[in-house]
């Protein structure tokens, strides 16, 4: 329990000791008090607002219980933008920025004055859809998720970044909402759930206990989402000529995902790209 007469600096030191992490303590406290970094250090000798002590202690309690700091702050940075996140959506990872990079490169190579239809499957917080719409104004984005709560978060993020009018949000099972759509998909991008069910319990606690299993659980072999997406695309003939599929994958799933793509689209031209740690992370497949 902190004294009501504590200064901001004293509260900071107590939080650092409790969390064992100076950076996290500073980040939490700055966000809580509404300070940028310079202002924070200029006000360390100011009294901590006594009427906020109880709320602040609640924040610390959440973090010491391993709740992800992103959920406590209510935000996470992705591709240079700040996005709202909460417990209904997966916390965006840096690896997914690589997926976005490759989609942007493909769009630039195929810039033919038309309006490509880009579909983001399992949009979650909307980071992929919103980033693509923000970076390329000449595309039409459709973002799909089976969670209505996630769709609401994604819509708020689209509004926050001024692209809500450029994204159509649909709730449904993978590609199913597009089964009867008149237009074809030029680019399908997805960071689907890909962790095998029996490995969920091995995840670190802040992921296992707080992030939505709906966005993590890839079924018995981790490939259920890829299998469903590819099956739907193939059965309903939703891909335009020379369309591209871009998937994020688990570090050890290259052979399985490439094999699945080949089984549904035997003529696809496939590339696999590594993340900064050297792990296979992005699979691109162009339909020819």
**Strand 75-78, strand 269-274: pairing:** unpaired
Query: How many H-runs (helices) and E-runs (strands) does the chain carry?
Result: 11, 9
- When pLDDT is cut at 50, 70 and 90, the band that residue 180 belongs to is confident
Superfamily of structural domain 75-286: Vaccinia Virus protein VP39 (3.40.50.150)
What does the alpha-carbon distance between residue 230 and residue 190 come to, in Å, rounded to a whole number? 11
- When pLDDT is cut at 50, 70 and 90, the band that residue 260 belongs to is very high
pLDDT digits (tens, 9 = 90+) for 135-155: 999 999 999 999 999 999 999
- Tally Cβ neighbours within 10 Å of residue 135: 18
What does the alpha-carbon distance between residue 167 and residue 278 come to, in Å, rounded to a whole number? 33
Question: What does the pLDDT read at residue 5?
Answer: 65
Mean pLDDT of 263-278: 96
Q: Is the pLDDT of residue 288 over 90?
A: no
Question: What does the pLDDT read at residue 113?
Answer: 66
What does the alpha-carbon distance between residue 26 and residue 32 come to, in Å, rounded to a whole number? 10
pLDDT digits (tens, 9 = 90+) for 221-241: 999 999 999 999 999 999 999
- Name the nearest CA neighbour of 282 among 79, 98, 109: 98
For the chain, percent of residues with pLDDT exceeding 70: 98
Question: What does the pLDDT read at residue 18?
Answer: 95
Token output for 51 = 């009427």
Mean pLDDT of 278-282: 97
More confident residue, 184 or 144: 144
Question: What does the pLDDT read at residue 38?
Answer: 96
Q: Is the pLDDT of residue 36 over 70?
A: yes
- Name the nearest CA neighbour of 243 among 178, 193, 192, 195: 178
First-to-final CA distance of the chain:
65
Q: How far is CA 137 from the centre of its chain?
A: 21
Q: Backbone dihedral region of 74: left (phi > 0), alpha (psi from -120 to 50 degrees) or beta?
A: left
| Domain residue ranges of the chain, discontinuous segments joined by + | 8-61, 75-286
**pTM for this one?**
0.94
Q: Is the pLDDT of residue 182 over 90?
A: no
- When pLDDT is cut at 50, 70 and 90, the band that residue 110 belongs to is confident
DSSP 219-247: -TTS-HHHHHHHHHHHHHT-EEEEEEEEE
- When pLDDT is cut at 50, 70 and 90, the band that residue 1 belongs to is low
Question: What does the pLDDT read at residue 111?
Answer: 74
- When pLDDT is cut at 50, 70 and 90, the band that residue 196 belongs to is very high
pLDDT digits (tens, 9 = 90+) for 58-109: 999 999 999 999 999 999 999 999 999 999 999 999 999 999 999 999 999 9
What does the alpha-carbon distance between residue 9 and residue 102 come to, in Å, rounded to a whole number? 44
């Amino acid at each position: 329990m902190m004294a009501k007469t504590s200064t901001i600096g004293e509260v900071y030191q107590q939080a650092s000791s409790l969390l064992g992490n100076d950076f996290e303590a500073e980040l939490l406290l700055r966000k809580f008090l509404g300070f940028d970094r310079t202002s924070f250090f200029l006000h360390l000798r100011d009294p901590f607002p006594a009427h906020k002590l109880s709320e602040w202690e609640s924040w610390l309690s959440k973090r010491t219980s391993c709740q992800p700091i992103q959920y406590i702050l209510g935000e996470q940075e992705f591709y240079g933008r700040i996005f709202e996140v909460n417990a209904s959506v997966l916390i965006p990872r840096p690896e997914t920025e690589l997926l976005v990079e490759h989609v942007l490169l493909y769009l630039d190579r195929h810039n033919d004055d038309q309006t490509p239809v880009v579909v983001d499957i399992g949009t979650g917080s909307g980071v992929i859809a919103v980033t693509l719409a923000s970076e390329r104004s000449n595309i039409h984005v459709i973002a799909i998720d089976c969670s209505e709560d996630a769709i609401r978060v994604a819509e708020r993020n689209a509004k926050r970044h001024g692209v809500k009018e450029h994204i159509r949000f649909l709730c449904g099972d993978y590609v199913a909402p597009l089964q009867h759509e008149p237009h074809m998909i030029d680019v399908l991008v997805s960071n689907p759930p890909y962790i095998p069910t029996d490995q969920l319990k091995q995840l670190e606690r802040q992921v296992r206990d707080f992030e939505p299993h709906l966005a993590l659980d890839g079924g018995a072999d981790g490939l259920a989402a890829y299998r469903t997406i590819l099956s739907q695309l193939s059965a309903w003939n939703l891909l335009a000529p020379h369309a591209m599929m871009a998937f994020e994958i688990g570090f050890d799933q290259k052979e399985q995902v490439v094999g699945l793509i080949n089984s549904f689209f035997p003529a696809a031209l496939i590339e696999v790209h590594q993340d900064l740690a050297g792990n296979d992370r992005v699979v691109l497949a162009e339909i020819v």
